[in-house]
Structure 1
Amino acid sequence: MPLESYKHKTSSNLWIKGWVEFEGARIAGPYRCSSGSPTKAGAENWIAAETKYQRHKHMVGEEAAQTFSDAVLIYNANTKTARQLLPIDREIGATPLTKITGKLLKSLGPKMKPLASTDTWWREIVTPARAVINNAHELKGTPAIKVRQYSSNERVAQDTRRKKASRVTRTPSDRDWVAAFCKVADPHNAAMLRLMFETAARIDQAVSMTPIDVDEEKCQVWLKAQKGHAAGWVKVSKEMMADLMALPKKFTRNPRTGKLLEQRVFGYNSSTSYNNRWKTICKKAGIPYLSAHAAGRHGFFTELVVRLNVNPIDAAEAGRWSDASLPMRVYAHPETDEASLREHFRTKPVQHKNSKQPKPRKKKGNTDD
């Protein structure tokens, strides 16, 4: 029988059973496996992708069937990653996975985004493509791939070509900046800034918080997984918790239709929707605009380590960095004026006066025998 989904006794996901057929003949199976999805639509997508793959393989052979496009079909991509994969698939979709190398993936950057930085190439092209290929390796046994990072020389060369630095030095927030911001900000934006400054939460973690992510009794908030770090509860100060509990209810809206969506603590539905509001607040407060990342994580680590002399290892753990050397290298910003440092090295040492006593002069005349 053709592939079909069914409810498994011990799994929340729908399972698949049956055969893949082509012109009345069985060409792959029998199947007895999870679709990886709890919904009927998800299971049907799995069946469609597997059927297409097996029929293609049956007609053109194993190697030709295992193309990048085939790997994309069996990759469970979120909306953001799917948008990134579409132009990549147009470039190398028909390429067999056995022919794709790290060098090939890195060469897509200059072709697809000639004015972007190497960091953008890595984040938006190499990383999603590599994930697709390695996912196919786990599911289908196709070759895995490792890609070496762009070198510093490659980064500098690209920055020179586009006449723009890719790694701009960030200015961290401090207590005075936070106080000025909060003085004119609405309660939701003020509380969001204080939360990020106090916990080093990322903007996406902050805007994703819903009322159930706030535990008043234990004085903690739930931050979702981000950048390879697991989700978990994070302690906050009593003052911070009081601010969170005092916030009026606020629902997000669909930016296109205006339809009310889920309730979120700070009322934003994406990690970029705060920008315009923050620029207005900063202008009104008479302070320079800082991004949420600079005001939050950069401000958090600089405040603890540079200004308060907290042990970097303790600060890194509090900010959920697994390696203390990373925030010391990226998030700790020096605040001593360069000119004052130079004063420690006097170029013209003070010349001390000669302390030797003058030799006594001999008296003229006869001397005693």
Structure 2
Amino acid sequence: MLLYKPSEADAGYLVPILTKLGSMAVADITPKLVRELGEELYPEASTDTWVRHVVTPVRSVINNAHDLGHCAPIRIKGYSKEERVAQDLKRGRKSRVKKTPGSWEWLLKFRQHAPRRHAALAMFMFMTGARISQAVAMHPDRHLRLDQNMVCIPAAKGHDDRWITVPQELVRELASLPRLYPRGFDRTQDNLRVFGFADRSSPRKGWAKACKLAGIDLLPFHAAGRHGFGQEMNVRQGIDEKAAGEFGGWSDTSLMRRTYTHAEQTAEKIHEAQLRGLRAAEERTKLTLFNAGASKKKERA
């Protein structure tokens, strides 16, 4: 463990794992033991949580030691669909619940009742695809060049800092924000934040209140922002996924397509497509679906 430098999140996940495994030799840690440890440590969690909180951190620590020449690597398979469904039944909750992505309609209603910082935050995430952790970390001097219509999305998920050009509407919104310090922070230059929040949890109370006052669904930050961006660009506006992926910070556009786009108005779209096909066929054949000739043949039969 001392050889591995975990992220802040992984460090938190490793504490209960180390408490349980103690000084057990790496050679004695089997894939089966790790998979069973998920249920033991988090009996009310989903199998996806077991992967994130147990399987991934353990695998990272051991394989890091392997890279340094200290032990053999470990391969731990994920949980099957059957195991996921069984655990969902056991805990009485469904995992992988379909997300409702943000939209312009939702954003406009939200902004009517949201505090200024929350309104700007929601608009920023929806228009850039930024994650909440990236948005709240932004510093007005280090991450904004509003005179050039540019903002810097802080590094995350294997991506470096990214400078992108944003539309004038977003520039205007960001320029209207005062210079803000998160509550409890010393008023020093380094502690300034674009949106004035201390961490990703800080906007939650005001966010929920605004949704209630607006009478709209309480969308989580990620659904309202990053999922909303992916849906708006790829599904509603039909922007090519290469452009949307580059702007939104997806190196794997297939991941964006699989995870960040959602079916909308399914029946209506299918019905319209079917009718378009029918009308085109009728035009080509000069026949109609319920043409008189077919009806007369049916009557004679």
> TM-score when scaled to structure 2?
0.85
Name stretches of at least 5 consecutive residues in structure 2 with no aligned partner: 279-288
What is the CA distance between 1:330 and its match in structure 2? 1.5
Return the match for 1:175 from 87, 99, 104.
104
- Structure showing greater radius of gyration is 1
Of 114-123 and 102-111, more deviation after overlay is shown by 102-111
Please name the residue that 1:48 is paired with: none
Q: Which amino acid aligns with 1:354?
A: K
Return the match for 2:179 from 249, 252, 255.
249
- What is the DSSP-based 3-state SS (H/G/I as helix, E as strand, rest coil) of the residue aligned with 2:71? coil
| Contact 2:154–2:162 under 8 Å retained in 1 | yes
Deviations 1:273-319 (A, max 9, x none): 21111011111222111111111111111111211111123222221
Please name the residue that 1:233 is paired with: 163
1:320 aligns with 2:249: yes
Equivalent runs, 1:12-23 vs 2, <5 Å? none
- Larger relative CO (CA 8 A, sep 6+): 1 or 2? 2
What is the CA distance between 1:146 and its match in structure 2? 2.6
Return the match for 2:146 from 216, 224, 230.
216
What is the CA distance between 1:191 and its match in structure 2? 1.4
What is the CA distance between 1:335 and its match in structure 2? 1.7
The verdict on how the C-alpha distance between 1:355 and 1:118 changes in structure 2, with shifts beyond 3 A counting, is closer
What is the CA distance between 1:222 and its match in structure 2? 1.7
- What is the DSSP-based 3-state SS (H/G/I as helix, E as strand, rest coil) of the residue aligned with 1:234? strand
Please name the residue that 2:35 is paired with: 106
1:354 aligns with 2:296: yes
Equivalent runs, 1:182-331 vs 2, <5 Å? 182-211=111-140, 212-254=142-184, 262-331=191-260
- Quote the sequence identity (%): 40
CA distance in 1 between counterparts of 2:261 and 2:30 reads: 37
- What is the DSSP-based 3-state SS (H/G/I as helix, E as strand, rest coil) of the residue aligned with 2:151? strand
Q: Which amino acid aligns with 2:64?
A: N
Please name the residue that 1:33 is paired with: none
Return the match for 2:67 from 109, 115, 138.
138
| Contact 1:181–1:190 under 8 Å retained in 2 | yes
What is the CA distance between 1:260 and its match in structure 2? 5.5
CA distance in 2 between counterparts of 1:295 and 1:73 reads: 39
> TM-score when scaled to structure 1?
0.70
- What is the DSSP-based 3-state SS (H/G/I as helix, E as strand, rest coil) of the residue aligned with 1:233? strand
- What is the DSSP-based 3-state SS (H/G/I as helix, E as strand, rest coil) of the residue aligned with 2:123? helix
CA distance in 2 between counterparts of 1:230 and 1:98 reads: 36
CA distance in 2 between counterparts of 1:290 and 1:155 reads: 24
CA distance in 1 between counterparts of 2:11 and 2:235 reads: 41
The verdict on how the C-alpha distance between 1:79 and 1:339 changes in structure 2, with shifts beyond 3 A counting, is closer
Higher helix share: 2
CA distance in 2 between counterparts of 1:295 and 1:242 reads: 21
Please tell me the root mean square deviation across aligned C-alpha atoms, in Å.
2.5
Name stretches of at least 5 consecutive residues in structure 1 with no aligned partner: 1-71, 359-369
Please name the residue that 1:161 is paired with: 90
Deviations 1:121-140 (A, max 9, x none): 11111112222222322345
What is the CA distance between 1:144 and its match in structure 2? 2.3
What is the CA distance between 1:350 and its match in structure 2? 4.3
Q: Which amino acid aligns with 1:173?
A: G
| Contact 2:115–2:206 under 8 Å retained in 1 | no
Of 227-236 and 204-213, more deviation after overlay is shown by 227-236
Q: Which amino acid aligns with 2:29?
A: I
Higher strand share: 1
The verdict on how the C-alpha distance between 1:183 and 1:124 changes in structure 2, with shifts beyond 3 A counting, is same
What is the CA distance between 1:337 and its match in structure 2? 4.5
CA distance in 2 between counterparts of 1:240 and 1:150 reads: 42
| Contact 2:114–2:206 under 8 Å retained in 1 | no
